[in-house]
Every structure is written in structure tokens, then in C-alpha cells.
Amino acid sequence: MEEIKNNKHKIAYESLELAFALMELDKKTRYYGTNVPIFHSEIHVIKAIAEHPCIHVAGLADVLGVTKGAVSEILKKLERKALVIKEVDELNLSRYSLSLTEKGKKAHKNHMHYHDILNSNVENELQNATEAELKFLSSFLSSLISRVENFDENIVE
């Protein structure tokens, strides 16, 4: 019985270690094959623009779940780095349509390759898992994510 408890504690600790390792990985500034440093928030704006061609600032803010002001600040940086083009939307002259430059497309492509490598690592670790083990792990992770997201709500101060 003590061994089971110790294993559960070890899993909890290793889950935290994984979360911290992923956060550290995510914090790193990368170049993604370009000549400019690209921050975490910037590459995810680039990704959203790539996935929503001709999106406008308000739409991008909705997709990302942030304010229009936050999007505008990041877009200014991305324009200075020649990764994004902001043009007046021909269908609505009061807003801007966003698109990626060739350099922005290259950064997006390399960012997606980066995710492919991370996904590959997970797939390699799970290559010998049974269907039942995969189902359990998926359910466990989903439940754990939900509990972590609601963690503060369950604490009595």
C-alpha cells in the first residue's frame, strides 16, 4: 500500500517537472529560421494569422483570447521584424487585414516543424502502449488539466 502511495507522489512530482520543463522550453526566444528573434507570444500570433488568412485585428484578438490592444502591440513588433503585413481591408476600409510575409511564412513553417518534433517525442514514448493504456493516459491528462485549471477555485483561504 505504501508503494502505491509513493508511486502516486512520484507521478505528481514528475507531472510538475514536465510542466516546468515545457514552460522553460516555451519561454525561450527562437529564430525559427529567420534573422530575427521571435518570442512565444509573437509566434502564436503568426500561427493564428497563418491559420486565418486575411484576419483583422479584432478577429485575431478573439481567436487568441486577448485584447485588441495586446494584439496591436505584438503586431507592431512583428511588422518591424518584417514578419507580418497589415493592409487596409478592401471590404471594410475601417479595419486592417493581416497576412504573413515570406519571412513570416518561414517562421510559421519552422514553428510547426518544432511542434512536429515534440509530437514525435510523445509518439515515440507511447509506441508500445496498448489501446487501454492510451485511453487511460488521455483521460488522466484531461482530468488533471481540468483540476489544475480550477485549482484556485478549490482553495479555501
pLDDT along the chain (157 residues), means of 10: 89 92 90 97 97 94 96 97 92 87 98 96 97 96 91 70
Distance, in Å, from the CA atom of 85 to the CA atom of 102, rounded to the nearest integer, reads: 10
The CB density around residue 106, as the number of other CB atoms within 10 Å, is: 15
In this structure, the number of other CB atoms found within 10 A of the CB of residue 105 comes to 15
Cα dihedral 91, 93, 98, 100 sign: positive
**What pLDDT score was predicted for residue 157?**
63
pLDDT of residue 154: 65
Measured from the Cβ of residue 145, the count of other Cβ atoms closer than 10 Å reads 10
What is the structure's pLDDT at 88? 86
8 A C-beta contact, residue 60 and residue 49: yes
94: exposed, middle or buried (Cβ count in 10 Å: 0-12, 13-18, 19+): exposed
Residue 131, burial from CB neighbour count under 10 angstroms (0-12, 13-18, 19+): exposed
Q: Say how far apart CA 17 and CA 23 lie, in whole Å.
A: 10
pTM: 0.82
Residues 6+ apart with CB under 8 A from 89: 54, 56, 95, 96, 97
- As beta bridge partners, residue 89 has 92
